[in-house]
A and B are shown apart, each in its own frame.
Chain A
Amino acid sequence: MSPAALAEILVSALIVIGGSFALIGSWGLVRLPSLMERLHGPTKASTLGLGAILGASVLWFHLTQGVWTTHELLVSVFLFLTAPISANMIAKVHLHRLRQREPSEPPGPAGAPAAPPGGADWANHEAPHEGTPGDFVGD
């Protein structure tokens, strides 16, 4: 087998693996029972999918043109930075709407979260206490 054919097989395999994980992540969106469970699919299962596809891209440019591309590295870094934040934002909106008892926002199998021990509420429902990281009064 020629090196070029081997390279194509390797790159194809990575793309197929990546595509499968992206598909599983999307299937998770369809089949999991409620919003909070559905959030797990895109934050995780698609990360590896994208990682494999980016790996295929790096490998392809290296094997066909002999250069190491670095942009894929940046894409994955930005993905790792933004995925938790968007998941967090969606979760916070969900918590807010749960507390408002919006009819279109049913609680999932885990129910609504209990207040944390110690008297304070979650920061979604109560202003940050003085001296905590979220307190910007003194700045």
Chain B
Amino acid sequence: MIARLLPHPGLSVLLVVMWMVMVGEVSFGALLLGIVVGILVPRFTAPWWPGRPRVRFLPALAYAAIVVRDIILANLEVAAIILFKRTRDLRPAWLAIPLELAGPEAITVFAGTISLTPGTVSADVSACGRYLLVHALHAPDPAAEIAKVKARYEARLKEIFRD
């Protein structure tokens, strides 16, 4: 019954919160409309999102904090490369990162994190779903770069999306 009414409870809560943030004031009417949106949108989009990943909330919050911190550092790092590194000293490289994550949601979050953090942009996933193609702006040692990304983000994501 609950599963039929709320196919993605987490998404519903997120939509209500987003709605309240968008309205920008706390009022009964806004909350009511937010709840209507939070119930209707997941129901109508459920056919295109059959699975339901279980997300651990506290590790996800800690992960978000780490990523925000890394985004700020990434900006400084990329700005320094753009301003001071000569093109002939730059070592761009393609990295094939072996994936231990299996869920599409987990891989998407991993790829998005890689795009937002230091000197890496995710480009593609392999047809077998076991490798992520990543372009690094400056990676003199590709193996070390792969190990760093896996230890820093993938290990934490495995905790968050553990089934």
Please report A residues at the B interface, Cβ cutoff 8 Å. 21, 24-25, 27-28, 31-34, 36-37, 39-41, 43-45, 47-49, 51, 69-71, 73-74, 77, 80-81, 83-85, 87-88, 91-92, 94-95, 108-111, 113-114, 116-129, 132-134, 139
Contact = CB atoms under 8 A, between A and B. Distances in A.
B126 A110 contact: no
Please name the 9 residue pairs, one residue from A and one from B, whose CB atoms are nearest each other, closest first. A133-B104, A84-B115, A132-B129, A48-B75, A91-B123, A116-B131, A120-B128, A113-B94, A28-B82
Contacts of B92: 33-34, 36-37, 108-110
Of B21, B96, B135, most buried by chain A (CB within 10 Å of CB) is B135
A24 B24 contact: no
A27 to B, nearest CB: 6
B12 interface: no
Contacts of B22: 70-71, 74
Q: On chain B, which size bracket covers the interface? A: 35 or more
Contacts of A108: 92
A108 B136 CA distance: 12
Contact of B90 (A88, A91, A109, A120): A109
Nearest to A131: B129
A133 B78 CA distance: 32
B104 A80 contact: no
A84 B96 contact: no
B121 A43 contact: yes
B121 A110 contact: no
B35 interface: no
User: Main SS of the interface on chain B?
Assistant: mixed
Contacts of A120: 126-128, 130
A113 B123 contact: yes
A48 B71 contact: yes
Interface string B115-145: 1100101111111111101010100000000
Given A27-B82, A43-B116, A36 B121 contact: yes
A128 B129 contact: yes
B59 interface: no
7 contacts: A33-B90, A48-B71, A71-B22, A80-B112, A91-B121, A122-B125, A127-B127
Nearest to B125: A123
Contacts of A114: 94, 96
Of B21, B98, B119, most buried by chain A (CB within 10 Å of CB) is B21
B127 A129 contact: yes
Contact of A24 (B18, B21, B82): B82
Contacts of B72: 48, 51
Given A33-B90, A84-B112, A88-B123, A41 B78 contact: yes
A97 B47 CA distance: 33
